[in-house]
Amino acid sequence: MMEALNLDQLKEVYKKNYQIVLYTGSGVSTCPNEPKYGIPTWISLLQRIGGLQESSDQKEENPYKLVKIAIDNCGGLKEFFERLRQIIEKEENYTQKYGLLSKAFINKAKTLSAVAAFCGKLDGQIDHSHLKDPRFVYFQTKPNPRIQAILTSNYDCFLESCGANLFRKSPLKPVTAKGSLAGHLNRIPVFHIHGYIPHPFYKREREPEINDLIITEEDYRKYWNEQDVFGTTMGPQIHYLRYYTTVFIGFSFNDEFVCKLLRKIYKDYLSKRNRTHFAFIDEILYEKQGDNFFTEMGVTPVVYKNHDDLTDLLGEVYKAGLQNELLRTKNRKIELPLLLTKKHISSGKSVRFPLEMIWDILINCRLESITRSKFETLLTMY
């Protein structure tokens, strides 16, 4: 079992609280150990777009100043936007079919895959007993009903696409993002509060324009308006941060606009109801900011040492939420219906899996299936 400061508190809240919200930052879209995949963190991204790595400006860490420098170096906002798009849409990230991410990216992006897996739920196993030697074990999945929504400051649609890689039909759908259709309302809504760049496979749809993305300090001051409660930036945040326990993942809390909003919501509302949000924070950031920094925002930090531990930490939280679904036996097993192959209707039979195995199935899913060899390995583990 993984250990992290305040992890047990988060597990208890998730176990008792039926619905939560996720808030993802650039850390979900990065591959720290394989930088050719995903995109860099925001500061590094601005440096790359503006060609600042070798210049004296590279030590500038104020994001608004960096944006201005990068736009000037690009020769204007139009070229800045084009370079941003190229970094997001590079061939290492996407396949050109079906709105998926590349297999290599999925395998390298551990945090991204873990968050996408967290948003899914096993709804049954497909019966392939009539096949002599099936290479895969197939499942039916659905969106995790405990996830009310996802707020994200990211422009990319990596998370939504990753959901499609894992579960065939992604449990996630970008909404209130210019350039995005309303789509299937049975999916978990993803609110891109700073704008949205769709998967290149969907270029036939309306693409976002330059002024659809919140990039400059002027953009922030225009759209981060507390009075604009019906806007696509403020509206979703004010609603979900006020009424739902929110878990921040891959978020550095360098965005002063987000921090200011959190402080206000906590002071005016959450503190009077003894509620708190949570954030997965690495040990270095936690020691740098200090506990009071998070307390003033109504955020309880779940502190970990190694970024690669996030997959297991999310798994611990996910399994805590399954406690109420355990069979009333001592063997800690989850029961799933066995579904007929063609119409995916119940065969009248069921299968049972150890609770600990459910997360491993989800994290190893590819298009709602895992290899039989992997499946049998998991069975022997539990």
Q: How far apart are CA 99 and CA 191, in angstroms?
A: 18
- Residue 101 is classified by DSSP as B
**Same domain, yes or no: 156 and 211:** yes
Three-state DSSP class for residue 179: coil
254 found inside a domain? yes
What local confidence, expressed as pLDDT, does residue 281 receive?
Answer: 95
Look at residue 148 and tell me whether its pLDDT is greater than 50. Answer: yes
Dihedral sign computed on CA atoms, order 54, 60, 61, 62 = negative
Q: How far apart are CA 108 and CA 45, in angstroms?
A: 19
Q: How far apart are CA 112 and CA 103, in angstroms?
A: 13
Q: What is the CB-side half-sphere exposure of residue 118 using CA atoms within 13 A?
A: 32
What local confidence, expressed as pLDDT, does residue 210 receive?
Answer: 53
How is residue 53 written in tokens? 């790595």
188 found inside a domain? yes
**Same domain, yes or no: 193 and 70:** no
Percent with pLDDT over 70 in the chain: 87
Look at residue 201 and tell me whether its pLDDT is greater than 80. Answer: no
99 found inside a domain? no
**Residue 85: domain span:** 39-91
**Same domain, yes or no: 116 and 251:** yes
Q: Phi, psi (5° rounding) for residue 303? A: -95, 130
How much is the pTM? 0.92
What local confidence, expressed as pLDDT, does residue 155 receive?
Answer: 92
What local confidence, expressed as pLDDT, does residue 57 receive?
Answer: 47
**Same domain, yes or no: 151 and 277:** yes
Instruction: Select from 158, 230, 218, 144 the least CA-distant residue to 187.
Output: 144
Are the C-beta atoms of 58 and 47 separated by less than 8 Å?
yes
What local confidence, expressed as pLDDT, does residue 280 receive?
Answer: 97
96 found inside a domain? no
Look at residue 112 and tell me whether its pLDDT is greater than 90. Answer: yes
What local confidence, expressed as pLDDT, does residue 306 receive?
Answer: 85
**Of residues 224 and 190, more confidently modeled:** 190
**Same domain, yes or no: 229 and 378:** yes
Helices H / strands E in the chain, number of each: 15, 12
Taking residues 373-379, what's their average pLDDT? 93
Identify the H or E element spanning 88: helix 77-88
Q: pLDDT, tens digit, for every residue of 62-109? A: 788 889 999 999 999 889 999 999 999 898 998 867 778 999 999 999
What local confidence, expressed as pLDDT, does residue 231 receive?
Answer: 74
Q: pLDDT, tens digit, for every residue of 240-285? A: 999 999 999 999 998 899 999 999 999 988 877 778 899 999 999 9
Taking residues 208-219, what's their average pLDDT? 76
**Same domain, yes or no: 132 and 271:** yes
Q: How far apart are CA 359 and CA 136, in angstroms?
A: 18
15 found inside a domain? yes
98 found inside a domain? no
**Same domain, yes or no: 228 and 281:** yes
**Same domain, yes or no: 117 and 229:** yes
What local confidence, expressed as pLDDT, does residue 211 receive?
Answer: 55
Are the C-beta atoms of 308 and 322 separated by less than 8 Å?
no
Instruction: Select from 251, 180, 257 the least CA-distant residue to 214.
Output: 257
What local confidence, expressed as pLDDT, does residue 223 receive?
Answer: 85
Domain count, the chain: 2
Are the C-beta atoms of 144 and 70 separated by less than 8 Å?
no
Q: Which residues, at least 6 apart from 66, have a Cβ–Cβ distance to it below 8 Å? A: 43, 46, 47, 50, 52, 57, 60
Taking residues 348-358, what's their average pLDDT? 91
Q: How far apart are CA 343 and CA 355, in angstroms?
A: 27
**Least confident window among 45-59, 297-311, 358-372:** 45-59
For residue 152, name the pLDDT band (cuts at 50, 70, 90).
very high
**Same domain, yes or no: 46 and 189:** no
**Same domain, yes or no: 116 and 225:** yes
**Same domain, yes or no: 46 and 23:** no
For residue 177, name the pLDDT band (cuts at 50, 70, 90).
low
**Same domain, yes or no: 74 and 186:** no
226 found inside a domain? yes
Are the C-beta atoms of 10 and 276 separated by less than 8 Å?
no
DSSP lists the bridge partners of residue 173 as 189
What local confidence, expressed as pLDDT, does residue 294 receive?
Answer: 96
Are the C-beta atoms of 138 and 123 separated by less than 8 Å?
no
**Of residues 328 and 78, more confidently modeled:** 78
